[in-house]
Structure 1
Amino acid sequence: MERFFKLKQNGTTVRTEIMAGLTTFMAMAYILSVNPSTLTAFGQVEGLGWYSVFLATALAAGIFTIAMGLFINFPVALAPGMGLNAYFASVVLSSATTDHPFTWEMGLTAVFISGLIFILLTITRVRQILLDAIPDGLKHAITVGIGLFITIIGLKNSGLMTIGVEAGNDIAAGKFTDILSFESVIHLGSLEDKNVQLAIIGLLLIGVLMVLRVKGAILFGILGTTVAGILMGVVDFDTLSNPATPWTPDFSQLNFASFDWDGIMHTGLVSAIATFTFVELFDTFGTLVGTATRAGIMDDPEEGKRRVGKAMLVDAAAVTGGALLGTSTTTAYVESAAGVAEGGRTGLTAVTTGICFLLALFLAPVAALIPGSATAAALIIVGVLMAQSIKHIDFDDMVIAIPAFMTLAIMPFTYNIANGISFGIVFYVILATIANLRGSEKTYKVHWMMWLLAVLIVLRYILIGSQG
């Protein structure tokens, strides 16, 4: 393993890498239950079974995460992405009552085609050009934005932050004029809730372990929080006998290659392909660059670009492979930062995480024991670590500061990585161009790819809208 993964060269050890891989798995394990529920819209998507999606989720995450580790030596894990799975379900449900419904088979077809597009873009090195095109200030903003995005996920999953959907709709409709009304949209959760209390315990436990410089602080914090949850009566042991999570996987229920090529001319298919492609393009870029930066891989720019470029190819293959298995877009996961924060630097971290996902096929009831508050606390702490990159952003230079701030602010508050990157790119192109035309003392590089992306972004929001 030392020779294969180049552990000494990357300043790490077998123990550190395995601990990091376990930490990443702990932070991502929620997807095993969340993705099936989301993709089937809690049973509302007719014909798409919860367990079939569970199998596809575990297999896709396991197979392609291991591939990322073995072939690229990259400490990044993959799994079906949050956000795109919700879009998948919403498109299917929204057309269910129409004369020409958009079936879940069509949805998988759209994901598969978007994956083929990604493979083409990666082989032709179009995606890799992004590494040269995006200015360093925006790259660091992406890292910080992902950290805030992870924090929002943790706060929301733990119950420390609650969102009033109805109030939010009222504000969107212009019904609120009093700024104090906003506290009914996003506010602190109930501190009387045991899950919220457990999340706070988890935050303190992980925080104390990190202050004491305990190796594996996040993983031990998750396990310690789980023990606390057992003592508090929060952990549900009924999962051990729940028929929805059997001990032995039944692969006959897997929706393998369930595509609907007869529906290729459906009017909604082109829109779905465009949305999957556009969002995945920026989500993956942000995740890979942000995680690579945190892992120190980008310290050597040329080597970092080479490895990220190869990682993009595995990611592209994962999109098509995940669709074949029967799940929505499989992508690099921002929660990989949890393992990187624990010292993960090589593909051994990813291989460890991937093996855990495959084992989850047989031990799903055990994995389900870990309370969401425990992993949520870990994600919040990871957000702290990712936010450290903000010190590399020059906020005295408004050409950099404004696009960077738009990136790191819009990403978490719209709950969408692609939105943040999109606004950052458009704002940078406009401001940098104006500064250059004005004849400022500093000349700002605006890569042709940035111009192309800015135009495509504007067209995307005009033609597809902000909800795509």
Structure 2
Amino acid sequence: MDKFFKLKEKGTNIRTEIMAGLTTFFTMAYILAVNPTVLSPSGLDAYGIFLATALAAGIFTLAMGLFVNFPVALAPGMGLNAYFATVVVASAATDHQISASMGLAAVFISGIIFLILTVTKVRQMLIVAVPDSLKHAITVGIGLFITLLGLKNSGVLTISLDAFGRDFAQGSYTNLGGSETVMHMGDLADPAVWLTIVGLLIIAALMVLRVRGAILIGIVLTTLIGAIPGVDVTDFGSLANQKWVPDFRELNFWDFDFKDLLTTGLLSAIATFTFVELFDTFGTLVGTANRAGLLKNKDEGHKRIGKAMIVDSLAVSGGAMLGTSTMTAFVESSAGIAEGGRTGLTSSTTGVLFLLSLFIAPIALLVPTPATSAALIIVGVLMVQSIKEIDFSDLVIGIPAFLTIAMMPFTYNIANGISFGIVSYVVLAALSSWIGKKKYSVHWLMWILFVLVIARYIFIGSEG
């Protein structure tokens, strides 16, 4: 094992690596409970989603450890799973309903595109092309999007119908009118609302106290509180006659519908899945590798990140085949690295634990919406921290970053935020450089993205 993972060379040992793997697992295990809650409104069976989440996270995290020797874990990404369930499948961009099978087909295709971009090195070129300020803004915007989703799902926040009787959350937001505001405080008489607030405070307190696995512990405690008489949000009686041995017949394996692949909504979804995952994964891989000291030798470090990107690309399509939304490298892996994880033994340990979790499906699916909603809000807090990396005093940087951040939650659409950020940055940077005030570098690929975004809004429209 020492020879296979090069433990001594990396200054670590078996005990440290296994403990780091345990830490990573307990830090990100909340995804087992949250993903079925987020994706099930799309029409996918919650139990099948749980199986897909555990299998995909286990298989591809193991692959990251065994084939790349990299201490990073993979699982369905927060934000993109919300986009999948609430925007893509519920999209009003076309004349027909986009089914979950069509959505999974879109994720699968985005993984293939992702793999091609990685193998041809285009992926690396795009990372250089897009300014760091926009990369950070994308993370912040998704964080606010996730927070809005958590508040809405729990009932802490309600979203009104507009003057035309359309549901604001379903994707048609122009010409809002009427005397009411769009968003309202939820019903504080509802036990589920109070349970969400209590769960939020529990997780926040645990994180302030630097308790490892704070999110998972908070979910468990909130679930237990939900069973108290008078609250009655958690139903332990549902554990009776449940399946403790995984039934893979209920897995949504290869549940694809390619017949409408070229429809407007799906093309937009494929582009969004590919574009968002592109920056999210790169940032996570580079950030964790740097923290683990794996980039001290640049040639070896970059080569390893390249291999990690290939595994990540395969995970996107592989996860879709199993029945879940976009897989991504989890930033929570940094918790294991902070515990001393330096090799693939860390991620291999995490992967094995995800596979073992297949036998606790009834417990994971018992977790009520208030518990997972509290976790979503906290994850939003963690993602918004990237805002400190943006220099808002430079308006050429600040305005595009702000538009990227604001347009995601306010239009309930991740793609709109990215699009507004790209267009505004190219215009402002080119204008500033042209009049000679200050020179800004605009990569040629940014101009291509600029044209593609404009074409999208002209020929496809703003929805979807």
The DSSP-based 3-state class of the residue aligned with 1:142 is helix
1:125 aligns with 2:121: yes
Query: CA 1:415/1:60 → structure 2, altered by over 3 Å: closer, same or farther?
Result: farther
Match of 2:240 in 1: 241
Query: CA 1:87/1:413 → structure 2, altered by over 3 Å: closer, same or farther?
Result: closer
Where in structure 2 are the equivalents of 1:6-405 lying within 5 Å? 14-40=18-44, 55-72=51-68, 73-79=70-76, 81-85=81-85, 89-90=89-90, 109=105, 111-166=107-162, 169=166, 172=173, 174=175, 176=177, 178=179, 181-182=180-181, 185-231=182-228, 232-241=231-240, 246-254=243-251, 256-257=253-254, 263=259, 269=262, 271=264, 274-292=267-285, 295=288, 297=290, 309-325=306-322, 327=323, 329-332=325-328, 336-337=330-331, 340=334, 343=338, 351=348, 354-405=351-402
Match of 1:46 in 2: none
Q: Deviations over 1:362-402 (max 9, x none)?
A: 32111122233223323323333333332221111110000
Q: Deviations over 1:424-458 (max 9, x none)?
A: 11111110000000111x32111111111111122
Query: CA 1:433/1:426 → structure 2, altered by over 3 Å: closer, same or farther?
Result: same
Cα shift at 1:416: 3.2
Give the Cα separation in 1 of the matches to 2:96 and 2:55. Answer: 28
Contact 2:64-2:73 within 8 A present in 1 as well: yes
Contact 1:113-1:273 within 8 A present in 2 as well: no
Give the Cα separation in 2 of the matches to 1:177 and 1:93. Answer: 24
Give the Cα separation in 2 of the matches to 1:434 and 1:428. Answer: 10
Give the Cα separation in 1 of the matches to 2:99 and 2:205. Answer: 49
Query: CA 1:166/1:354 → structure 2, altered by over 3 Å: closer, same or farther?
Result: farther
Query: CA 1:103/1:164 → structure 2, altered by over 3 Å: closer, same or farther?
Result: closer
Give the Cα separation in 2 of the matches to 1:356 and 1:463. Answer: 47
Cα shift at 1:419: 2.5
Q: Which range moves more in the overlay, 82-91 or 196-205?
A: 82-91
Q: Deviations over 1:232-280 (max 9, x none)?
A: 432111331366xx3233334445445567x4xx5x5354652343011
| Letter in structure 1 aligned against 2:76 | A
Give the Cα separation in 2 of the matches to 1:51 and 1:379. Answer: 20
Contact 2:57-2:73 within 8 A present in 1 as well: no
Give the Cα separation in 2 of the matches to 1:175 and 1:112. Answer: 35
Give the Cα separation in 1 of the matches to 2:52 and 2:82. Answer: 15
Give the Cα separation in 1 of the matches to 2:102 and 2:210. Answer: 50
Query: CA 1:358/1:197 → structure 2, altered by over 3 Å: closer, same or farther?
Result: same
Query: CA 1:366/1:214 → structure 2, altered by over 3 Å: closer, same or farther?
Result: closer
Cα shift at 1:28: 4.8
Q: Which range moves more in the overlay, 298-307 or 276-285?
A: 298-307
Contact 1:315-1:330 within 8 A present in 2 as well: no
Match of 1:463 in 2: 459
Give the Cα separation in 2 of the matches to 1:351 and 1:363. Answer: 20
The count of aligned residue pairs is 440
Q: Deviations over 1:101-145 (max 9, x none)?
A: x88766655544443222212210111212211212222222322
Question: Structure 2 unaligned runs (5+)?
Answer: none
Query: CA 1:399/1:173 → structure 2, altered by over 3 Å: closer, same or farther?
Result: closer
| Letter in structure 2 aligned against 1:83 | Y
The DSSP-based 3-state class of the residue aligned with 2:462 is coil
1:438 aligns with 2:435: yes
Query: CA 1:238/1:351 → structure 2, altered by over 3 Å: closer, same or farther?
Result: farther
* TM-score when normalising by structure 2: 0.79
* TM-score when normalising by structure 1: 0.79
Cα shift at 1:64: 2.6
Question: Structure 1 unaligned runs (5+)?
Answer: 41-48
Contact 1:19-1:219 within 8 A present in 2 as well: no
Contact 1:150-1:383 within 8 A present in 2 as well: yes
Give the Cα separation in 2 of the matches to 1:292 and 1:199. Answer: 32
Cα shift at 1:288: 2.0
